[in-house]
Structure 1
Amino acid sequence: MKLARHQIIMLVVMIFGTFVTVLNQTLVTPALPSIMTEMNVDAATAQWLTTGFTLVNAIMIPITAYLIDRYSTRNLFTVSMLIFTAGSALSGWGPNFPVLLAGRLLQAAGAGILMPMVMTVLMLTFPPERRGSAMGLFGIVIAFAPAIGPSAAGFVIDVYNWHVLFWIVVALSAAGIICAWFALKSTPKNESKNLPLDKPSVALSTIGFGGILYGFSTIGSNGLNIADAAITLVGAIVVALFFRRQLKMDRPMLEVRVLANRKFLVGTIIGMLVQGALLAAGILMPIYLQSYLGYSATVSGLVILPGAIVMGAMGPIAGRLFDKHGPRVLSLIGTSALTLSTLAFAFLGDSTGLIYLTILYTVRMFSLSLVNMPITTWAMNALDNSLMNHGTSVNNTLRQVAGSFGTALLVSISSIATNMSAGATDPVHAGIFGVNMAFAGATVMCLIGFVLTVIFVKDKPSDAAEADPDNVKRSVLESIMKRDVFTLPESATVFDAVKLLVDHHISAAPIVDGDGKPIAFVSDGDVARFLSKRHSTYTDPVALIMLTESSSDDFAVKAAKVMKMRAYDIATHGVISIDVHTDIREACRVLGENHLKKVPVTDEGQLVGVINRSDIAHYSMSKYLEQNESELTQAAATA
């Protein structure tokens, strides 16, 4: 079904606003060397423009849920964009570093509200059959903005200056505000979820996380001293008080109890380590290329560009690989490649080539894409349905916080190493040494992630059952899946497959091994592809009908030959299946991301059923009618 005109307009406006805020996050790193020179600040101070932004984003995530329930969509979107635009204008003016930083933090407050709000509104506004289109476009934009950001920023900096970057963002944001006011409907606030905002929790999280971050950063600039150490210690104590308060509250701002689940805790820690190493590299690379090797901001952006494109493109691909191979293989390959590529960055010199840097950075981003999605999905799958929303909030918040802390820590390592070697060598080589030491620290973080993956991330069939101790997910899936599964043995011929498909009026069937485990999937499309005259090209099953009408001896010979082949040889291998304990939402993700109509259901590896998209659709509709029957009946009677 096509989207309605007003839905398309709303989708475009909200995605445009999100695009501007995501683009803004990637514009600053290429500008850091220019900002450091103009304002006479070191890297440990300048990195606050990124880490401070990320930290405020993290603090705003749990607050946004409260705001969404309290205010209408149009008003909240407009106010968040106004805050973001005000911060952009303040940064564009930026006569000194404190004003520039204040503008960045104001930007972060607006962007921190906007991102989760847009995702929530898209899911609530669009019906299930249209959410795929909306979220697909949203995902493309989110991947596209970081890809073009550094290159575009580098060009603007070289032709004009970094101030112009923020004024461009101001113009784009203002356009988004004007369009939103006319395009978005003023939906009423949700009175049924009038939850209070726990102000002490907001204060504790802000003071605690901010104190630790400030301590890390100032130690990098000023060295270890009592005052900064005391601020860091106080921040850590306040964070402990924040977590203690969350555990005592019936409705906490951040449901940290989900961390009691070991798999979720391990997955979150690995994600935090990866996020810290990722953001730090984005700051260190432009400084290395521009300040120490003398390249332009445009060149700096172009070096990063291929890696950003690869990471964006790998999102859906990593999802499909996860569904086929599980989390362990992908995360092991990803964390090992990430560790090795990060280690290679610890040996940069003053003559390192641009092509080598570009390839190495791209490999690093590729390996990150093999870690992020599988580890996050593995962690979330370990939680009960009732904790999914809380798990998402905790995971996102802690990853953002870890990105801030990791960046501050690694940039501080770089600054300390640079200052220590300044007396023994020239400033350029001292700076490169500092960058190398920072990447060495990042290597240690990645290595810890690799070790945790080796020890804890497993592909055990019992994992899904452990996450569903009361068989709640299992009972739902078993109630809607089809148990009369028609399978083929591994030795079956194509003729056997065709007869099975025709006799039972089905379009595909799994092939199982001697233990009853699915190893391939053969469909009418596979048969048609091998019977077509150009059998290297995929053809629709309708082609089979057209070909059987032909009296060509060539077709008859080919058909006789194909029918004697093993069905396994023409089937699709690497069957994507789901466990019988899988949550319905996860089943929807597997079907949607892999463009499947049906997927086998297994119990400890054994095939027990098949679930179709139509099964889930009928289940969802019946549950909706069941929950809203009284309201619908009353509305019909009134009409």
Structure 2
Amino acid sequence: MGQAVRRAGVRMTEKGHPVVADVTYSWPVNSAPPPSGQPQVADEPVLSPSSSTNRDRIPMVVWLLLCAAFVVILNETIMSLALDTLMKSLGITAAQGQWLTTAFLLTMAVVIPVSGFLLTRFGTRTMFLVAMITFSTGTVTGGIASGFEMLVAARVIQGAGTAVMMPLLMTTVMETTPKRRRGQVMGVVSMVISVAPALGPTAAGEILRYFDWPFLFWAVLPIALVALVIGGLLVRDVGERETRNVDIASVILSAFGFGGVVYALNQIAGGLSPQLVIGIILAAGGLVGFVWRQRRLESGAGPLLDLRCFEVPTFRLGVIVMSVGFAALMGVAMLWPLFLQGERGLTPDVAGRMLLPGGLAMGVLGPVIGRIVDRFGPRVVVVPGSIVVAVMLAVMSTAQATTALVLLILMHVVMSLGLAAVFTPTFAVTLNDLPTHLYAHGSALLSTIQQVAGAAGAALLVTVMALSNQQVAFLIAAGMTCAVVVLSFRYPTAVADVEGAPAPAH
């Protein structure tokens, strides 16, 4: 048991920006509260006056955000099997239908880099409500869409809501969970982000068997609305809020830079074209300008996306591993269904069911991996996990049209278990040593890089498959994962008990 006090007011951050602080600190009942004016360090922040610190529980706000994240991530993949149905129903070409995915990804690429600023400016509660209301609005728009243009608009609106959710979830986990328990919590996060994409194609296949495509939207709407209502009642702000204005130039440069990257990657499969050249020019110019602008703002009003996160060694390591690993993962996520449907001759709904055991295996193993990381450190699971992924990708390159279905499922399940052993610790390691005021920026950077790396991996491996064959593409994915194996030996051997870390030099 303990006592708690809530402090509110305006003060200055380490960066010299005014913040609105509203944090509850707790201390043992038998000890006196810290003297006035001295730093007050909480082992685990209390989210509301009525809540109590419980070291064995995941905070309620994290559970709520996990439910919301499950819905928006499920929605990302639930449309994957609907393209053929949409082409017939709306009278569109495959190239037009691809814009339903491209528009969604472009919106994510534009909004995610801004999410770090939005979280520190408006707070957890406000951004949760904005994200879920936006996502629900896009879902309703998709359900009532009468034409292709309206459907694309619905995907854009959904993407804007989805983009905020993962940085919001990761930031909240870092703010509410002490270091020694972050592996466990990240394991649960890993479970959600593994199971939701795996369920998407399966759920879509079953829905389309009995209903028309608008039910793909109506099916997720009730869950989104329940999460919105319960979250609206229970979610409260965590961490600090900075009272500063957005830098419009940074937003524009970010949109051209990151949006240009995703757009260019989506044009690669069509070969050299004016669209590809335009995308490359926009990406290069936007990213160079964005980095220059953020560096200038570091000594002034404050950057939109704080690149000083890269001054923390574990953040750099985690970002590199996540980039390479996610590129390989998303590339395989494109290749394996193509193999199952093209070479093996399976229908889309059956191919979706073939992917389900792997996603469920990742989800089941995630919390177990998290507990191991908390006890023994990340290296003990990342090293063997990355080796398993590299080996299994090489094995998957040998798959033939005559390979037994049970062996194909087993290959995917074992590879998925290896991915769980890599990604669960990496989420925690990447953000663990950031100072508190950089949590939101670090989460936004990590989510942005995941999106870009995933798009790059999918574009690269699908292009290799088109120019050569699927076996070569899988071997390249295995080679990419070998880089993760090498880097995994640089992971810490134990999780430090000290909360927080020195801030990067300003």
TM-score class normalised by the smaller sequence? 0.7 to 0.9
Equivalent residue, structure 2, for 1:235 = 283
**Aligned pair in 2 of structure 1 residues 215, 385: CA closer, same or farther (>3 Å)?**
closer
Pair 1:199 & 2:234 matched: no
Residue identity opposite 1:289 in structure 2? L
Equivalent residue, structure 1, for 2:224 = 173
Looking at structure 1, the residues matched to 444 and 312 of structure 2 have their Cα atoms a distance apart, in angstroms, of 15
Spell out the pairing of 1:383-422 with structure 2 (5 A cutoff).
387=438, 390-414=441-465, 416-417=466-467
Equivalent residue, structure 2, for 1:583 = 498
How far residue 289 of structure 1 moved from its aligned partner, in angstroms, is: 2.8
**Aligned pair in 2 of structure 1 residues 351, 30: CA closer, same or farther (>3 Å)?**
farther
Contact map agreement 2:183 2:373 (CA 8 A) in 1: no
What do the CA deviations read for 1:606-636 (whole angstroms, capped 9, x no partner)? xxxxxxxxxxxxxxxxxxxxxxxxxxxxxxx
Looking at structure 2, the residues matched to 135 and 269 of structure 1 have their Cα atoms a distance apart, in angstroms, of 18
Contact map agreement 1:21 1:111 (CA 8 A) in 2: yes
Contact map agreement 2:62 2:172 (CA 8 A) in 1: no
Q: 2:384 aligns with which of 333, 353, 356?
A: 333
- 1:29 is paired with a residue of what secondary structure? coil
How far residue 307 of structure 1 moved from its aligned partner, in angstroms, is: 0.9
How far residue 231 of structure 1 moved from its aligned partner, in angstroms, is: 2.7
Pair 1:446 & 2:361 matched: no
Contact map agreement 2:250 2:293 (CA 8 A) in 1: yes
Residue identity opposite 1:215 in structure 2? A
Looking at structure 2, the residues matched to 286 and 36 of structure 1 have their Cα atoms a distance apart, in angstroms, of 19
Looking at structure 2, the residues matched to 268 and 12 of structure 1 have their Cα atoms a distance apart, in angstroms, of 25
- 1:410 is paired with a residue of what secondary structure? helix
How many residues of Structure 1 are paired with residues of Structure 2 in the alignment?
A: 446
- 2:346 is paired with a residue of what secondary structure? coil
What do the CA deviations read for 1:537-587 (whole angstroms, capped 9, x no partner)? xxxxxxxxxxxxxxxxxxxxxxxxxxxxxxxxxxxxxxxx655xx53269x
Pair 1:244 & 2:279 matched: no
Looking at structure 1, the residues matched to 255 and 201 of structure 2 have their Cα atoms a distance apart, in angstroms, of 29
Looking at structure 2, the residues matched to 91 and 265 of structure 1 have their Cα atoms a distance apart, in angstroms, of 39
Equivalent residue, structure 1, for 2:321 = 270
Pair 1:219 & 2:236 matched: no
Residue identity opposite 1:367 in structure 2? G
Contact map agreement 1:342 1:440 (CA 8 A) in 2: yes
How far residue 95 of structure 1 moved from its aligned partner, in angstroms, is: 5.9
Pair 1:155 & 2:206 matched: yes
Equivalent residue, structure 2, for 1:536 = none
**Aligned pair in 2 of structure 1 residues 383, 288: CA closer, same or farther (>3 Å)?**
same
Looking at structure 2, the residues matched to 302 and 20 of structure 1 have their Cα atoms a distance apart, in angstroms, of 19
Spell out the pairing of 1:95-134 with structure 2 (5 A cutoff).
99-117=150-168
**Aligned pair in 2 of structure 1 residues 247, 139: CA closer, same or farther (>3 Å)?**
same
Looking at structure 2, the residues matched to 385 and 585 of structure 1 have their Cα atoms a distance apart, in angstroms, of 7
5+ residue gaps, structure 1, are: 422-432, 461-576, 587-639
**Aligned pair in 2 of structure 1 residues 194, 398: CA closer, same or farther (>3 Å)?**
same
How far residue 216 of structure 1 moved from its aligned partner, in angstroms, is: 2.3
Equivalent residue, structure 2, for 1:318 = 369
How far residue 362 of structure 1 moved from its aligned partner, in angstroms, is: 0.8
Equivalent residue, structure 2, for 1:615 = none
% of aligned pairs identical? 32
Contact map agreement 1:338 1:364 (CA 8 A) in 2: yes
Residue identity opposite 1:233 in structure 2? I
**Aligned pair in 2 of structure 1 residues 159, 344: CA closer, same or farther (>3 Å)?**
farther
Looking at structure 2, the residues matched to 30 and 252 of structure 1 have their Cα atoms a distance apart, in angstroms, of 40
5+ residue gaps, structure 2, are: 2-46, 52-58, 502-506
Contact map agreement 2:335 2:461 (CA 8 A) in 1: no
How far residue 410 of structure 1 moved from its aligned partner, in angstroms, is: 2.8
How far residue 368 of structure 1 moved from its aligned partner, in angstroms, is: 0.8
How far residue 76 of structure 1 moved from its aligned partner, in angstroms, is: 4.3
Contact map agreement 1:154 1:300 (CA 8 A) in 2: no
Looking at structure 2, the residues matched to 296 and 246 of structure 1 have their Cα atoms a distance apart, in angstroms, of 48
Looking at structure 2, the residues matched to 403 and 148 of structure 1 have their Cα atoms a distance apart, in angstroms, of 19
- 1:351 is paired with a residue of what secondary structure? coil
Residue identity opposite 2:477 in structure 1? A
Equivalent residue, structure 1, for 2:420 = 369
Residue identity opposite 1:269 in structure 2? I
**Aligned pair in 2 of structure 1 residues 9, 247: CA closer, same or farther (>3 Å)?**
closer
**Aligned pair in 2 of structure 1 residues 11, 155: CA closer, same or farther (>3 Å)?**
same
- 2:461 is paired with a residue of what secondary structure? helix
How far residue 271 of structure 1 moved from its aligned partner, in angstroms, is: 0.8
Spell out the pairing of 1:252-267 with structure 2 (5 A cutoff).
252-267=303-318
Residue identity opposite 1:322 in structure 2? V
Equivalent residue, structure 2, for 1:553 = none
Please report the TM-score for the alignment, with normalisation by the length of structure 2: 0.72
Spell out the pairing of 1:6-17 with structure 2 (5 A cutoff).
16-17=67-68
Looking at structure 2, the residues matched to 281 and 101 of structure 1 have their Cα atoms a distance apart, in angstroms, of 26
Spell out the pairing of 1:16-95 with structure 2 (5 A cutoff).
16-32=67-83, 34-35=85-86, 41-42=93-94, 49-50=100-101, 53-54=104-105, 56-71=107-122, 76-92=127-143
How far residue 264 of structure 1 moved from its aligned partner, in angstroms, is: 3.1
Q: CA RMSD in A?
A: 4.3
What do the CA deviations read for 1:41-75 (whole angstroms, capped 9, x no partner)? 55x87666456535533543443344345557665
Residue identity opposite 1:237 in structure 2? G
Equivalent residue, structure 2, for 1:621 = none
Looking at structure 1, the residues matched to 218 and 440 of structure 2 have their Cα atoms a distance apart, in angstroms, of 37
Residue identity opposite 2:201 in structure 1? P
Higher relative contact order (CA closer than 8 Å, sequence separation 6+): 2
Contact map agreement 1:86 1:106 (CA 8 A) in 2: yes
- 2:321 is paired with a residue of what secondary structure? helix
- 1:219 is paired with a residue of what secondary structure? helix
Contact map agreement 2:183 2:374 (CA 8 A) in 1: no
Equivalent residue, structure 1, for 2:41 = none
Residue identity opposite 2:370 in structure 1? G
- 1:195 is paired with a residue of what secondary structure? coil
Looking at structure 1, the residues matched to 343 and 110 of structure 2 have their Cα atoms a distance apart, in angstroms, of 35
Looking at structure 2, the residues matched to 578 and 13 of structure 1 have their Cα atoms a distance apart, in angstroms, of 26
Contact map agreement 2:172 2:238 (CA 8 A) in 1: no
Contact map agreement 1:201 1:242 (CA 8 A) in 2: yes
Please report the TM-score for the alignment, with normalisation by the length of structure 1: 0.59
Contact map agreement 2:183 2:428 (CA 8 A) in 1: no
**Aligned pair in 2 of structure 1 residues 189, 299: CA closer, same or farther (>3 Å)?**
closer
Who wins on radius of gyration, i.e. which is larger? 1
Structure with the bigger percentage of helix:
1
Equivalent residue, structure 2, for 1:523 = none
Equivalent residue, structure 2, for 1:344 = 395
Residue identity opposite 1:232 in structure 2? I
Looking at structure 2, the residues matched to 371 and 380 of structure 1 have their Cα atoms a distance apart, in angstroms, of 15
**Aligned pair in 2 of structure 1 residues 208, 276: CA closer, same or farther (>3 Å)?**
same
- 1:584 is paired with a residue of what secondary structure? coil
Equivalent residue, structure 2, for 1:208 = 257
Residue identity opposite 2:419 in structure 1? L
How far residue 399 of structure 1 moved from its aligned partner, in angstroms, is: 2.0
How far residue 246 of structure 1 moved from its aligned partner, in angstroms, is: 1.4
Equivalent residue, structure 2, for 1:630 = none
Looking at structure 2, the residues matched to 148 and 383 of structure 1 have their Cα atoms a distance apart, in angstroms, of 33
Residue identity opposite 2:408 in structure 1? L
How far residue 386 of structure 1 moved from its aligned partner, in angstroms, is: 6.2
Looking at structure 2, the residues matched to 124 and 459 of structure 1 have their Cα atoms a distance apart, in angstroms, of 21
